[in-house]
Amino acid sequence: MERTRGLNLDYLAATSGEAKILLTLFIMLLSAKLMAELFERLRQPAVAGEILAGVIIGPSLLALAAPSEITDLLAEIGVIFLLFTVGLETKPASIFRVGKSAAIVAVLGVVAPFLFGWLLMKAWGSTGIEALFVGTAMVATSVGITARVLSGMGLLDAPTARIILGAAVIDDILGLLVLAMVSSAAAGSLNYLEILTTAALAIGFTVFVALVGAPVVTRMAPKVERLRSGEGMFIFGLVLCFGLSVAATYIGVAAIIGAFLAGMALAEAAEEAPRMHRQMSGVTEFLVPFFLVNIGMKLSLEVFRSSSVIILCVLVTLVAVATKLLGCGIGALNLGVRRAAQVGMGMVPRGEVGIIVAQIGLSLAVIGPELYGVVLFMAVATTVIAPPFLKLLYANEAAARGDIGPPDAGGIVTSDDLFKIA
């Protein structure tokens, strides 16, 4: 309100805030796409390139961009669309077919990392609550990364892919229950009633959408197609995706679970709507880079100056990989060793869920910046380590698939096109 300074400058200042936000988004988008292209030329997963782009442009290195409320929101919308698209490829029937195997994989894959993560931290000399938080951060698989790799190979419908996706959904719900328990423990009291309520709601929500929602949506689809707006199915998909995401957060589970279930409910109907697939792929392709770059931007390289932090990073990452690989692998051993290894490796990436746990721990002052750095390192490292091994473990299936022709030969955009990885 300093009239003497010249209002014209105030006007320019007002627009420069907007300019800065747009500049940040532009840098995130450009760096993500450049690194994705570079990594694909090096035959590495584009996902790792986009996360690394975030590390490079983020506050730790070039400081060209920084995470903010706004990048967090775009990242959140991005991961919602990513899981929605994954859900679109996942017909409920095929999850139910693997329900029992998936449940065993999920439970073993939650117990092993939590237990051994906690043991490692206790052995390292951490306090009990720190050990509990690190263990919790190691629990939940980030299904988006594995889904992106598998869909890039056109293998989302492989039997082990179904088990991984099913287990990751159950695993996410279990992970959030563990988090609720650990948060209660940090407060010095376990609120059993609240935990039971959340568990019941989460399980009920999932079963309801899968059993009741999907058939209803499939029956509604032809009517939606007839709406005047022309883009009926696409708009219906958007509304369902956001609606169930919101419902999930109000029930107390992550929004991405709602988005995944929304996609799953639409999966049958979406087969008849290639136009919607392509439009959805545009939104996903635009927004997912913000999710991946934002993860990278949050990694502070500062804490890695201490050699003890680096040793702990390596140990935690090793335990995180080994416990999912063995825990989930044992759960799937009846399928044979190679398939068990596929399932185990597919459950390794922690990605955003580990980071969310770390952020909550930090905001509650339960863990310090160093352990925060360790958990972020583990989350990013497991995410970067898994894709090359997954590609190796699935090489036979991909080759066999190649023989029967490309999966999008019908002109329909599958997430295969979405997530091209080499």
Residues 6+ apart with CB under 8 A from 360: 179, 183
Q: Hey, what amino acid is at 167?
A: A
Check: CB of residue 131 under 8 Å from CB of residue 113: no
What is the closest distance, in whole angstroms, from the C-beta atom of residue 57 to a second copy in the complex? 14
Rounded to a whole number of angstroms, the minimum distance from the CB of residue 309 to a second copy is 25
Minimum distance of a second copy from residue 292's CB (angstroms): 14
* Closer of 101 and 172 to a second copy (Cβ): 172
Task: Give Dmax (Cα) for the chain.
Answer: 79
The residue (of 365 and 404) whose beta carbon lies closer to a second copy is 365
| Pick 336 or 368: Cβ nearer a second copy | 368
Q: Is 293 in contact with 64 (CB distance < 8 Å)? A: no
Q: Tell me the C-alpha to C-alpha distance, in Å, between residue 122 and each of 112, 288, 302.
A: 15, 37, 24
Least distance between a second copy and beta carbon 370 (Å): 19
Q: Is 375 in a helix, a strand, or coil?
A: helix
Q: How many whole angstroms separate alpha carbon 293 and alpha carbon 56?
A: 9
> Is 121 in contact with 131 (CB distance < 8 Å)?
yes
81 and 292 Cβ atoms separated by less than 8 Å: no
- Closer residue to a second copy in complex, CB, 189/308: 189
**Distance (Å, whole) CA 341 – CA 347:** 10
Nearest residue (CB) to a second copy, 318 versus 422: 422
Residue with Cβ nearer a second copy (40 or 268): 40
Question: Residue 23: which residues within 8 A CB-CB, separation 6 or more?
Answer: none
Please state the closest distance from residue 41 (CB atom) to a second copy, in A.
Answer: 6
Q: How far is CA 12 from CA 16, 19, 28, 165, 212, in A?
A: 6, 10, 24, 50, 54
Q: Under DSSP, is residue 59 helix (H, G, I), strand (E, B) or coil?
A: coil
- Least Cα distance to 300 among 232, 347, 359 occurs for 359
Nearer to a second copy, 15 or 308 (CB): 15
Helix (H, G, I), strand (E, B) or coil at 160: helix
Nearer to a second copy, 89 or 417 (CB): 417
In the complex, least distance from residue 268 CB atom to a second copy, rounded to whole angstroms: 21
Pick between residue 5 and residue 305 the one whose CB is nearest to a second copy: 5
Contact indicator for 184, 191 with CB cutoff of 8 Å: yes
**What type of residue is 67?**
P
Q: How far apart are CA 351 and CA 358, in angstroms?
A: 11
Please report how close the Cβ of residue 382 comes to a second copy at its closest, in angstroms.
Answer: 23
**Shortest spacing between CB 98 and a second copy, in angstroms:** 29
Measured between its terminal Cα atoms, the distance across the chain in Å is: 55
CB atoms within 10 A of CB 129: 16
Minimum distance of a second copy from residue 335's CB (angstroms): 31
Q: Which is nearer to a second copy, 101 or 294 (CB)?
A: 294
User: Closest distance between a second copy and the C-beta of residue 192, in Å?
Assistant: 11
